[in-house]
Amino acid sequence: MQVQNISNVKSSNQNFQGKINIIPGDLSYLPAKYVRKAYNAMETQIKDKPFDLFIKQNHQDRSVSIIAQKEGDALKKNALRTEQILSDDADIYESVANLVIHEHEEKLAKQPKTFKEKLQNLADKVWRKFLRTMEIEDEVV
């Protein structure tokens, strides 16, 4: 995930750019072929998301996992993640990636707000009320 800060604007805007990661970096022939075939479509699906797609092959089970998760949360056990497992000879990576992205977005929407987000909302409300009070006082004077 890449975050871009724009310093000329009062509020900090964040542009997310999800990416596709292959773990541990090697895929056998068929999964690599199917990932190459679906890569552009998967990249288009994930490009504006605040999380990444991880593709991991399990050679023992002859399966491939497609995981949606924030990159910083990859090593955390209790982090929010969505995973789908498919056979390594299945040619349905594009549709499975779409499903994983959709399910992960739903999980993110249902996730409770963090203390930091609640505090930011409270600060915004207080600031807006202060500005309204100042405007009323300016009109009275």
Domain boundary assignment for the chain: 20-110, 112-141
Does this model's pTM top 0.85? My answer is no
**Residue 4 pLDDT:** 44
Please name the CATH architecture into which domain 20-110 falls: 2-Layer Sandwich (3.30)
Measuring CA to CA, which residue among 97, 104, 101, 102 is closest to residue 39? 97
Residue numbers of the chain with a pLDDT score lower than 70: 1-16, 24-25, 74-75, 140-141
Q: Which residues are 23's β-sheet partners?
A: 56
The length of the chain, given as a count of residues:
141
Q: Specify the pLDDT at position 5.
A: 41
pLDDT of amino acid 127:
94
- Give φ, ψ of 35 to 5 degrees: -65, -45
Q: Is 62 left (phi over 0), alpha (psi -120 to 50) or beta?
A: left
d(Cα 92, Cα 41) in Å, to the nearest integer? 12
pLDDT at residue number 15: 55
